[in-house]
Amino acid sequence: MRRRAAELAPALGRPAPVVNVIRLLHDADAGVAEAAAWALGELGDSTRHGGGVPALVTAATGHPDPLVREAAVAALGALGDTRGLDAILAACRDKPAVRRRAVLALAPFDGPAVDDALARARDDPDWQVRQAAEDLH
């Protein structure tokens, strides 16, 4: 039920109660937290202005479940908010699936740190990470 609530939040057609979705990001069930991270990425300005970016940064850098970290990184990339860039850069050194998502999440950003992360990703041991880096080049 909590997961479904997170999945439906972006479809409400009005500013979603981001604070409630943020609560779901801290749920003990990783599936609920993953859905909440996705929803926060879809909620755009509501997330940017409602305290969602710091919550996503925390999830991207410290959640014990890699699927939640991956979803949080993807959401930060979708939001394109510079407050999330350091978390995305850190995720470029996580597990392969998280690194792959982090490389793609770099798309809205630029600068020397982004260039360095993409250069490292082009030499990553995981072929999908390398491919994602090449796709952004």
Give me the CATH number covering residue 128: 1.25.10.10
Residue 45 structural domain: 2-136
Nearest 10 degrees: Cα torsion 62, 67, 73, 75: -120
Q: Per-residue confidence of the chain (137 residues) as pLDDT tens digits?
A: 777 777 777 777 566 578 889 999 999 999 999 999 999 999 999 899 989 999 999 999 999 999 999 999 999 999 999 999 999 999 999 999 999 999 999 999 999 999 999 999 999 999 999 999 999 87
Cα 57 to Cα 49, 53, 76, 82, 132, distances in angstroms: 14, 6, 8, 11, 22
Q: What is the pTM of this model?
A: 0.92
In the chain, the number of structural domains is: 1
